[in-house]
Amino acid sequence: MVVSRRWERLGSRRPFLSLPLWLQSRMLRQVLREGLRTSFYKLGHFVANHPVFFLSAPVLVSILLGASFSRYRVEENMEHLLAPKHSLAKIEGKLVDSLFPVNRSKHTLYSDLQTPGRYGRVIVTTGRGNVLDQHHVDQILELHSAVTMMQVHVLGFNYTFAHLCLLDDNSSCIVDDILHVLEELRAAWASNRTAPPLRYPITTLQDGREAYIGHQLGGVQQGGRKSVRSARALQLTYHLQAASPLNDMVATRWEAQFCRALERYQASHPEITLYPFTSSSPQRDFQKTTKVSECPLLVSLCLCVSLAVLCCSMRDCVRTKPWLGLLALVSVGLATLTSAGIINLAGGKYNSTFLGIPFIMLGHGLLGTFEMLSSWRRTREDQHVKERVAAVFSDCMLPFTASTALYLVTFGIGASPFTNIEAVRLFCQNTCISVLFNYLYIITFYGSNLVFTGYMENNYQHSLFCKKVPKPELLLQKPAWYRFLMYTQFNEEASELGDLRTYESHLLVAFMKRYYCGWITNTYVKPFVVLFYLVYISFALMGYLQVSEGSDLSGVVATETSTITYTKAQQKYFSSYSPVIGFYIYESIEYWNASVQEDLLEYTKGFERISWFESYLGYLRSLNVSTSLPKRDFTERLRSGFLKQPQFLHFSDDIIFGRLADSEVDVVASRMFLVAKTTENKREEMHVLLDTLRKLSLTSRIKFIIFNPSFVYMDRYASSVGAPLKNSCIAALFLLFFSAFLVADSLVNVWLTVTAASVEFGVIGFMTLWRVELDCVSVLCLIHSVNYAVDSCGPLLSTFALGRECTRTRWVKLALERHGVPVLQSCLCHGAALLPLAAVPSNLTGTLFRCLFLTAFITLFHCLAILPVLLTFLPPSKKKRKEKKGVESRDEIECVEMVDSTRVVDQITTV
């Protein structure tokens, strides 16, 4: 091999041993790089020798694996997908369930607090009216009656709410406390007596029991002593049993019937507005994104195909390659079909986040295919097709392989078991499979199609009709329309200048070479580009400082759905108070001790409280009894006196008694309920509240935990979402560092690192300004941003670094001429494919569009503007070298005879 002979020759010379270490390492990098290029050259020869096999094999594999769509399944558990797998909230939830199972909770507040289960929920609003006036109270109670009488037919039986509801100690269905309030109001109006006072957020019912109604009345205007003057919204919740598969099936159908019944009631009562919501609404609306995306995805495909074909077309009917533009997308489609088949065979389940995988593959695959086509245009037309294909592989496959390896490493880190969010892990896992097959199919399928189109070009056949193009003297005898369709340029003589001019009829190539390269390197343009880059950094920094988390489930569902309308109504009318937080004391403490009582009251100070402990202390004070009783008296009065009172009887579910070794009864565990006053930034305040109470639980002598089902999504969400991005960036950095020996100049990796960081910083900043929060979808797009930046800028930087004999400006122009057009073509096709996503009524696709579009645009800005300007005055430097004539610098001549179908050429190449 020529490379090995050169290395042996260099090593045998004594002056080589005295070279500096940096020069030896540089020569070693060049040898390794040439060795890899030679390997890809041979691979290109192998593909060109067997084009039929490499064309048919990917198609057959894709068809066979695509048949596995009969096993297509959808993931239905949103908590499994979007909640952190390993979090303290899940451990606390299991402890809460073991201490206070749902069947011990005889109140909807408690059942909703521990586990939502199956339920139907509706918000009733009256615009500017008052839901507590007589007319609206009658309507709400009528609505409640219609819901409870609604029937669901399953397996020959008619089920109503009475068959599915949670039961209290009297075997009656548990309903919201606000319904008891409304019934009391209606009874008072019917008997012409004064209505009982209604306080907010904790009111006293007719039986003397205190009830929290902060989440049942919304838009409240209060008078004196927390009394309610009016309310604009009211929320009702109907909890269902789902203890068995049959119960769960019936409850699921009841939820669907519940939504239809509310739609009918809304149509007949337009003066009120209903916002229905069920436990299955988020999952249904999450998967609805796939359905509403079907038509825009078809438009996206048509736009991308059209633009890809146009980007590969030119005036010359022989050298134009419209089929290669189409076949580039076919390669990506086959890789998508193959990876989907593998996922189905492996038992994987589909979810809506997978919509982003084809667009990531599109950005990577199109750039690789356009680079191959650009390299094909730089080969000599008098070469044999096999030599031209081998030269293309030698020129393009090394950077394309490196960028594919970077994709596999960064997304492979995200696919590891250490990723705490299942949706992110599954997305990264499937992306790795797709990118790998995309790489293989571009080498095989696209490479074999390049061979066939090359033979057509060498035979001067029309690229569309495959018809032989007549010679110029014969073409002049044809009609004008025929001459227009069959226009081409015959190159009977092999000249490099003629080859280059042949392809200048391509619009983008001509624009880049004749106009743009000279303009962007103009001395008067450079200051404005640098100034524009500083403005870009300033706005990116402004957005970066405002990054917020997106743990709200409404960020990943379709927009025109019940989930979004319900969430907006809830934020509008019920954002004054936080979710009910369970305060669980999971071990025995000295409740009778005055200092413990003070600590416990101090911890819950500032909250709206529903506490057996405070009620018991008030009960003792009402009897003129000290609260610091001996242990036995304190416990006995609690069991025999306090919990026997009708108004305090419901507190029996909040206390667990245990018998000690000396047969003495003690309180071994208990719970209380806290509600915090919140503002519009409810989610951020809940994060702060959760962290504060967690830290307090670690330092307090009272061992307690706090829990709410929403904590499962909030707990460690920021670290869980950000961890894959951080790990992927670190992995990319290490890969760029350790791969420095594969490039001709180590500064290439430095530039790639800086460029990727600049692109990533800009995408994060501008997506925040575009109202995109940091959630699992945006993080996946940010991982792609690192890869896309390196993928696009790598060839341009490598070409610039390899140049030695010309000035910086000259090599910047050459790098742009060679690689600027492929980057521009891929960004145009990728951006056109993304545009229809903006019209999809879904928050998930909206996040995909904004992040991926910003990635493509900012990367294009760096490749075509920032890097060309900065490289004209920043390292690596360009030093002119004078050639030394002598024995040591003589050229080795290798003669290769090539037999073509049309001519025999003696090619003389200098090595």
Quick one: three-class SS letters along 229-285? EECCEEEEEEEECCCCHHHHHHHHHHHHHHHHHHHHHHHHCCCCEEEEEECCHHHHH
Query: Which residues does residue 121 pair with via DSSP β-bridges, in sequence order?
Result: 237, 277
* Model pLDDT, residue 9: 52
Q: Is it the case that residue 882 has pLDDT exceeding 70? A: no
* Model pLDDT, residue 18: 54
Q: Could you report the per-residue pLDDT of 114-151, keeping only the tens digit for each? A: 556 788 999 999 877 889 998 999 999 999 999 999 99
- Given a contact cutoff of 8 angstroms between Cβ atoms, the answer to whether 407 and 435 are in contact is yes
How large is the average pLDDT for residues 199-216?
Answer: 85
Q: Which residues are CB-contacts of 619 (< 8 A; sequence separation ≥ 6)?
A: 641, 642, 645, 648
* Model pLDDT, residue 878: 67
Q: Could you report the per-residue pLDDT of 339-380, keeping only the tens digit for each? A: 999 999 988 899 999 999 999 999 999 999 999 999 998 888
- Calpha distance 677→80 (Å, rounded): 30
Task: Scan for tokens 């769960």, then name that residue.
Answer: 248
310-319, 705-714, 792-801, 848-857: range with lowest mean pLDDT: 705-714
The share of the chain scoring above pLDDT 70, in percent, equals 88
* Model pLDDT, residue 83: 80
Task: Quote the mean pLDDT of the chain.
Answer: 84
310-324, 380-394, 651-665: range with lowest mean pLDDT: 651-665
> Which phi and psi (to 5°) does residue 238 adopt?
-120, 105
738 pLDDT band (50/70/90 cuts)?
low
Decide which of 677 and 225 is more confident. Answer: 677
Task: Specify the pairing of strand 665-675 against strand 608-610.
Answer: antiparallel
How large is the average pLDDT for residues 375-386?
Answer: 90
Decide which of 206 and 596 is more confident. Answer: 596
End-to-end CA distance of the chain: 11
Question: Which of 383-397, 465-479, 885-899 is the most confident on average?
Answer: 383-397
* Model pLDDT, residue 720: 62
* Model pLDDT, residue 642: 92
Q: Could you report the per-residue pLDDT of 400-440, keeping only the tens digit for each? A: 999 999 999 999 998 988 888 889 999 999 999 999 999 99
Q: Could you report the per-residue pLDDT of 262-287, keeping only the tens digit for each? A: 999 999 998 899 999 998 898 889 88
How large is the average pLDDT for residues 192-204?
Answer: 84
Task: Scan for tokens 């060795």, then name that residue.
Answer: 35
- Given a contact cutoff of 8 angstroms between Cβ atoms, the answer to whether 586 and 95 are in contact is yes
Q: Could you report the per-residue pLDDT of 44-74, keeping only the tens digit for each? A: 999 999 999 999 999 999 999 988 887 888 8
Decide which of 28 and 777 is more confident. Answer: 777
* Model pLDDT, residue 815: 92
Question: Which of 630-644, 657-671, 715-729, 822-836 is the most confident on average?
Answer: 822-836
Tokens representing 186 are 């209606």
pTM of the model: 0.86
Torsion sign, CA atoms 464, 467, 471, 477: negative
* Model pLDDT, residue 500: 47
